[in-house]
Amino acid sequence: MHHTARILIAAAAMAIATNARADTAAVVQDHIRPGFSAFAEAATTLAAIDSCDLETLRPAFNAAYDAWMQVAHLNLGPTEDNGRGLAILFWPDPKGSGWKAQRALLDGPAPSPEQMAQQSVAARGLPALERLLYPTEALLTDRCPLIHATADDLAATATTLSSAWGPFGDLMLTAGQPDNSRFLKPEEATQTLFTQLATGLEMLADRRIGRPLGTFEKPRPDLAEARASARSLRNITLSLAALKVLALTLNPDSPKTQAAFDQALSLPEAIDPDTDRLTDPQVWLKWEILQQAVRSTRDTAIAELGPALGVELGFNSQDGD
């Protein structure tokens, strides 16, 4: 995009922002849009590598994964549309459907970018690349074409996603205006972001930490996210840090929430990043303490930010029947 065009778009966004609630505007402009833009850039850098050397590809893969962790908790709007979020990170995959689909692709001719975009979301994105870049079994077929097809598809998805956050961000910034039928009241956009914060912390505790944690009798390190690339604990830390940014951008003056995040964020450094060590009761307990700290951070954030922002979690979504 031309530099001038960027400036014009930024100016338009700022003009719109004057009508939005400050909390929502800050998150859209300082957290969401830069985050998706950085991810698109990292995915594009990865796709541009004209090599099949695993050691050459892995740093760019990790940079893209790191960038995704800054925005992975923002599962709304363009991320939810067309299953884009799932096409970037289909995890957990308890039935191993992603690898099954990839095996079939490896046996045939290399898919074109268009064909790749039509594949099951389980066969695409970061976990699909991880299985190709960190193989756990020897393969007879050349995986190089599929690596490039998967990386190209990821870059295309990331670029589309980042662009789509332009107009969708504008919808959030114009919440409550007469022609906005997506967000009927100004506080609805804020409530949506507040819900993402609560849901993101739940997912972190229940899935990223909870699945490998299993039970004391039966830890399940094999269920950890990004285990082959040894990113499991790193992803937990990055996700927690990104959720902290979301919380404090939504409501900068949140001392209890900030303290709860800082407490939780202090825990991973004392944990061995090797998930296999979860079978050691001492290590298992450290993971469990981390999970409790994340849950307690969620409770604190809901209690502190909800009243400050004047929003609640969903009336019906929290009820259930």
How many C-beta atoms lie closer than 10 Å to residue 192's C-beta? 20
CB 240 within 8 Å of CB 70: no
**Rounded to the nearest whole angstrom, what is the least distance from the CB of residue 218 to another protein in the complex?**
15
Pick between residue 67 and residue 175 the one whose CB is nearest to another protein: 175
For the bound state, the minimum distance from the C-beta of residue 120 to another protein, rounded and expressed in Å, comes to 5
In whole angstroms, the minimum distance from the beta carbon of 273 to another protein comes to 23
Minimum CB separation from another protein for residue 289, in Å? 23
Nearer to another protein among residue 66 and residue 93 (C-beta): 93
- Contact call for residues 124 and 154 (beta carbons, < 8 A): yes
Question: In terms of CB distance, is 4 or 316 closer to another protein?
Answer: 316
Question: Torsions phi, psi of 36, nearest 5?
Answer: -70, -35
Residues that bind another protein (CB under 8 A): 76-77, 80-83, 86-87, 92-95, 120-122, 181, 184-185, 188, 191-192, 195, 206-207, 211, 314-317, 319-321
How many helices (H) does the chain have, and how many strands (E)? 14, 0
Ramachandran angles phi, psi of 172, nearest 5°: -70, -35
CB of 199 to another protein, least distance (A): 9
Between residues 252 and 314, which has the closer beta carbon with respect to another protein? 314
Gap between the Cα atoms of 87 and 70, Å rounded: 17
Shortest distance (Å) from residue 179 CB to another protein: 11
CB nearer to another protein: give 206 or 288.
206
Is the Cβ–Cβ distance between 29 and 140 less than 8 Å? no
Q: Where are the alpha helices (DSSP H) in the chain?
A: 3-17, 22-26, 33-47, 54-69, 84-88, 97-107, 113-118, 125-133, 144-173, 186-203, 210-213, 232-250, 255-265, 281-309
Dig out the tokens for 125 from the structure.
């994105």
Q: Nearer Cβ to another protein, position 103 or 220?
A: 220
The answer to whether the CB of 307 falls within 8 A of the CB of 190 is no
